[in-house]
């Protein structure tokens, strides 16, 4: 019998290094005849730059990243004869990669928990495929710096690098659950109660710990550094079931945030300590496989990648991998209907036709609103089981997934109708804190853009696949309609949203919308051709902005310097970027200055730290309140109301987006909202109607909310929205308002003011002596909201140009009861009762 292996070994030439040649020689599995043009282009480009330490490879979702990554891995193995590690975010993706390698005849071995690393991997004969957590953990078999001997690698391939940021951070995070370890949670929180009392935030602290408030609060870094030894003793525990993160954090607690929420006390490093892992940090090559997200600065921030190389990511002009998507935003359509009710009916219809129907929401709580029509897949095991059932066509749903914007693939009929509800702000306490602190700034806007893109990508996986996507929720609709946010999305997604916007203008009613959706699902030739032609015409290569990495690179460089003990260099780097001529948004500038203050405090330079924290707080009042409060800076006198409203409208490419933002704001103006939500909404409402506004309440002196009118008049607002109707305004509550007015008179010379309490009724106790103060009752607040909505609706429906809009807006203001000098009409004097 002929021995083909012997014949092959006799004629074998040296193993090829060019990945295109490797592919040409390998046996092709069924379904793969040749590479996509996009795959061939990036492989050729990588081969020409293979000796660069950090390389980013970007391909469209469904464009064959895994095959490209495996070919790069095999090329490196053939050339360097050193171990090559291939990382994926989830076990499911690890298994998919191993299956792909087997089908191509590429030698690949799995990482197996509880067993030594495979000899073929260690000896450079096979690629090892593992999850990120297999490498990045305190007991890593690959070695931790200062611990066991590390495995030297020729290359680490990071698949789906754009979704790995939160996964990697988890490896450097300790969570003490208030439910599972209440004694330790209470002990840790108690360490810092006095600190919050000294900051006049004891109410927020107690509400958070007791479960009355769902916010995430940060322990001030100066208090964390003072109590770090006591915290270390509590965090160390009894030695049993030591968390994987503890060995990484025990000597680095000074490099960490400490966060408190109702559910947990969290300790997480300021940035992931990836340099603790020589297998990754010292690898000759690090290849980041990424979807074509518009912003990849987080690769620099998380992985300490070289920004010069990340800036020149390997991409292709080919449209290969771009799926056909009809993306519609019902709430931006020009007819009124109950979007949620209609969407639920459409979900049932699509699933009833044996086609997958999916809902993506941002949290478990948000999923509850869909459980009357969709089954909620909660937890990793349920999610994996439900995804598999959809893929095998055992079910069509509808299924609702919470915070699964990546890591689930639903090609073909497993998902033909995808509903995405709400802004995907994140779920971990760190992500929620960062989103709240930086909201409105470029950093969080880019993160939201990336998650929206990922979510849209769940339902159509590559060329030839198709899906209808509905984006619902006023916050999501309002965000996308804003021009500055829209520009952060990739060219392909922008083109598909523009198509959806054009299609939406032709939709007259609910039936028309349902019929339009059916055209995509039933493969109407007109729609298919329109999509293909329009996409080809409008997808362009976005010119990368080299400065987009400045902030991420500065933050990472400063953190590395701090870690190495070079405090002065770290502070100087942050100060340089925060005060550069190219002005950062205030949110990001404040974040960088607070990090500088944190480093100075750790260095023992308390005065310098306090000065930096004051500057940070002045730029971004969502940050930690400094120990020494900076002098108050009065708001400028607002301009004409009409001009202010028109200016806001000009920021929206679809004007109805402003209306969606308005609805999102006023939805919090009710007695069920938390005090924090209500006050923020009251401030935002004032801004939406063209006033200058501010939430203050600093040290108990200022008002909850301040509205400045163009007439040099102010409304000093205290919010008591959660009181019962029968309870009158008390002497103590009115006293808070009187103190707020004293503060106002000191800081706003030349202004007149009205003292106002947002209160269920206009009744006050006799002791309150509130005769010269006013109530804005919840009923009158509702009337104010209705009048504002009427004015904004007329402006949003207007077809006027931006230049004409301002004059028209001023005309409408003149006739409207929300004109600044008429706002008194919504107020009622307090009476004894």
Write down the residue that tokens 């709400």 correspond to: 422
Cα(492)–Cα(618) distance, integer angstroms: 39
Residue 81 scores a pLDDT above 60: yes
b/e code 601-637 from CB counts within 10 Å (16+ = b): bbbebeebbbbbbbbbbbbbebbbbbbeebeeeebee
What does the block give as tokens for 683? 């401030």
Instruction: Give 215: exposed, middle or buried? Use CB within 10 Å, 0-12, 13-18, 19+.
Output: middle
Residue 63 scores a pLDDT above 70: no
Cα(273)–Cα(500) distance, integer angstroms: 43
Helix orientation angle between 606-619 and 586-603, rounded to the nearest 10 degrees: 170
Q: Which residues pair with 709 in a beta bridge?
A: 713
Residue 33 scores a pLDDT above 80: no
Query: CA 13 → CA 44, 458, 635, distances in Å?
Result: 21, 43, 76
What is the structure's pLDDT at 8?
53
Highest mean pLDDT among 236-245, 541-550, 573-582, 595-604: 595-604
Strand order in the sheet with 774-777: 692-695, 705-709, 713-719, 752-759, 774-777, 828-829
195-210: average pLDDT: 85
Strand order in the sheet with 285-290: 54-58, 285-290, 155-158, 84-88, 127-131, 108-110
Check residue 819 and report its DSSP letter.
Answer: S
Instruction: Give 581: exposed, middle or buried? Use CB within 10 Å, 0-12, 13-18, 19+.
Output: exposed
Q: Taking the domain 324-538, which CATH number applies?
A: 3.40.50.300
Is the domain spanning 546-619 CATH 1.25.40? The answer is yes
442-451: average pLDDT: 81
Radius of gyration of the chain (CA): 29
Least confident of 132-141, 738-747, 800-809: 800-809
19 phi, psi to nearest 5 deg: -60, -30
Higher local confidence (pLDDT), 257 or 11: 257
Is it true that the peptide bond before 817 is cis, omega within 30 degrees of 0? no
What is the structure's pLDDT at 607?
92
634-638: average pLDDT: 85
What does the block give as tokens for 47? 């081969």
420-427: average pLDDT: 82
The 10s digit of each residue's pLDDT in 278-336 is 999 999 999 998 876 656 788 888 999 888 887 777 776 655 557 788 888 887 777 77
Mean residue pLDDT across the chain: 85
Residue 701 scores a pLDDT above 80: no
What does the block give as tokens for 9? 């070994």
763, 723 in Cβ contact below 8 A?
no
374-387: average pLDDT: 83
Which residue in 393, 321, 407, 320 sits closest to 360, CA to CA? 407
What does the block give as tokens for 162? 């754009």
Q: Which residues pair with 36 in a beta bridge?
A: none
> Quick one: CATH architecture of 641-832?
3-Layer(aba) Sandwich (3.40)
Same fold yes or no, 324-538 and 546-619 = no
Residue 632 scores a pLDDT above 90: no
Q: What pTM did the predictor assign?
A: 0.82
203 phi, psi to nearest 5 deg: -60, -45
Is the domain spanning 14-168+276-311 CATH 3.40.50.300? The answer is yes
The 10s digit of each residue's pLDDT in 113-128 is 989 999 999 999 999 9
Residue 10 scores a pLDDT above 60: no
Ranges of each domain in the chain: 14-168+276-311, 172-271, 324-538, 546-619, 641-832
458, 358 in Cβ contact below 8 A?
yes
Cα(221)–Cα(262) distance, integer angstroms: 20
What is the structure's pLDDT at 546?
63
The 10s digit of each residue's pLDDT in 209-225 is 888 777 889 999 999 99
Given pLDDT bands bounded at 50, 70 and 90, which one contains residue 251?
very high
Which residue in 744, 747, 748, 770 sits closest to 759, CA to CA? 770
Given pLDDT bands bounded at 50, 70 and 90, which one contains residue 544?
low
Residue 60 scores a pLDDT above 90: no
What does the block give as tokens for 538? 């409008």
Cα(573)–Cα(488) distance, integer angstroms: 27
């Amino acid at each position: 019998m002929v021995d083909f292996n012997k014949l092959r070994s006799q004629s074998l030439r040296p193993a090829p290094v060019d990945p295109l040649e490797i592919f040409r020689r390998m046996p092709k599995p069924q379904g793969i005849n040749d590479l996509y043009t996009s795959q061939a282009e990036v492989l050729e480009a990588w081969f020409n730059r293979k000796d660069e330490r950090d390389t980013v490879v970007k391909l469209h979702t469904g464009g064959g990243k895994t095959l490209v990554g495996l070919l790069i891995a095999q090329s490196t193995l053939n050339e360097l004869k050193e171990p090559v590690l291939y990382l994926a975010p989830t076990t499911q993706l690890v298994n998919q990669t191993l299956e792909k390698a087997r089908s191509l005849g590429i030698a690949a071995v799995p990482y197996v928990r509880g067993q030594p690393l495979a000899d073929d991997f260690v000896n450079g004969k096979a690629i090892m495929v593992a999850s990120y957590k297999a490498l990045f953990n305190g007991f890593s078999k690959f070695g931790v710096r200062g611990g066991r001997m590390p495995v030297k690698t020729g290359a680490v391939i990071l698949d789906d690098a754009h979704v790995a940021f939160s996964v990697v951070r988890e490896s450097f995070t300790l969570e003490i659950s208030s439910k599972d370890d209440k004694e330790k949670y209470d002990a840790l929180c108690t360490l810092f109660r006095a600190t919050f009392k000294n900051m006049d935030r004891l109410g927020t602290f107690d509400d958070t710990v007791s479960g009355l408030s769902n916010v995430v609060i940060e322990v001030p870094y100066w208090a964390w550094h003072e109590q770090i030894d006591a915290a270390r003793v509590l965090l160390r525990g009894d030695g049993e079931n030591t968390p994987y993160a503890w060995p990484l954090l025990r000597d680095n607690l000074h490099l960490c945030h400490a966060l408190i929420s109702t559910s947990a006390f969290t300790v997480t490093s300021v940035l992931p300590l990836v340099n603790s892992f020589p297998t990754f940090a010292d690898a000759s090559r690090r290849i980041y496989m990424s979807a074509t997200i518009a912003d990849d600065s987080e690769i620099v921030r998380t992985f300490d990648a070289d920004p010069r190389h990340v800036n020149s990511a390997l991409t292709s002009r080919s449209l290969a991998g771009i799926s056909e998507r009809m993306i519609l935003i019902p709430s931006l359509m020009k007819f009124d209907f109950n979007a949620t009710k209609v969407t639920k009916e459409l979900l049932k219809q699509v699933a009833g036709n044996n086609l997958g129907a999916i809902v993506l929401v941002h949290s478990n709580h948000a999923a509850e609103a869909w459980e009357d029509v969709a089954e909620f897949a909660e937890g990793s095991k349920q999610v994996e089981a439900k995804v598999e059932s959809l893929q095998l066509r055992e079910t069509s749903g509808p299924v609702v997934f919470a915070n699964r914007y990546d890591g689930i693939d639903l090609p073909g009929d497993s998902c033909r109708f995808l509903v995405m509800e709400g802004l995907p702000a994140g779920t971990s306490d760190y992500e929620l804190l960062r989103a709240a602190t930086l909201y409105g700034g470029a950093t969080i806007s880019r993160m939201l853009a990336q998650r929206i893109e990922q979510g849209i990508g769940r339902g159509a996986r590559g060329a030839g696949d198709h899906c209808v996507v509905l984006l619902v929720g006023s916050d999501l609709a309002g965000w996308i309609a804003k021009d500055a946010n829209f520009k952060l999305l990739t060219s392909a997604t922008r083109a598909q949203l523009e198509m959806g916007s054009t299609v939406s203008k032709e939709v007259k009613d609910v039936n028309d919308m349902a019929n339009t959706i059916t055209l995509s699902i039933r493969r109407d030739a007109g729609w298919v051709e329109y999509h293909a032609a329009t996409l080809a015409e409008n997808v362009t290569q976005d010119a990368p902005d080299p400065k987009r990495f400045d902030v991420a690179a500065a933050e990472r460089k400063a953190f590395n310097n701090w870690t190495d003990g070079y405090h002065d260099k770290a502070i100087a780097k942050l100060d340089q970027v925060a005060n550069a001529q190219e002005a950062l948004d205030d949110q990001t500038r404040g974040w960088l200055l607070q990090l500088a203050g944190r480093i100075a405090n750790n260095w023992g330079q308390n005065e310098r730290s306090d000065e930096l924290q004051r500057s940070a707080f002045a730029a971004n009042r969502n940050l930690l309140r400094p120990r020494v409060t900076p002098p108050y800076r009065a708001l400028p006198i607002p301009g004409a109301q009409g001009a202010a409203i028109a200016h806001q409208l000009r920021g929206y490419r679809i004007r109805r987006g402003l209306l969606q933002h308005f609805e999102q704001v006023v939805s919090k103006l009710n007695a069920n909202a938390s005090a924090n939500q209500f006050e923020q909404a009251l401030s935002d409402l004032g801004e939406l109607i063209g006033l200058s506004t501010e939430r203050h309440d600093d040290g108990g002196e200022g008002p909850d909310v301040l509205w400045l009118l163009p007439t040099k008049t102010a409304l000093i607002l205290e919010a008591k929205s959660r009181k019962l109707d029968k309870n009158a305004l008390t002497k103590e509550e009115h006293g808070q308002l009187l103190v707020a007015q004293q503060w106002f008179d000191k800081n706003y010379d030349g202004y007149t003011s009205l003292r106002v309490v947002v209160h269920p009724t206009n009744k006050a106790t006799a002791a309150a002596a509130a005769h010269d103060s006013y109530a804005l009752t919840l009923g009158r607040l509702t009337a104010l909201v209705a009048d504002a909505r009427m004015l904004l609706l007329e402006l949003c429906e207007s077809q006027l140009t931006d230049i004409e809009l301002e004059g028209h807006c001023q005309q409408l203001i003149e006739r409207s009861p929300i004109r600044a000098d008429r706002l008194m009409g919504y107020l009622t004097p307090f009476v004894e009762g």
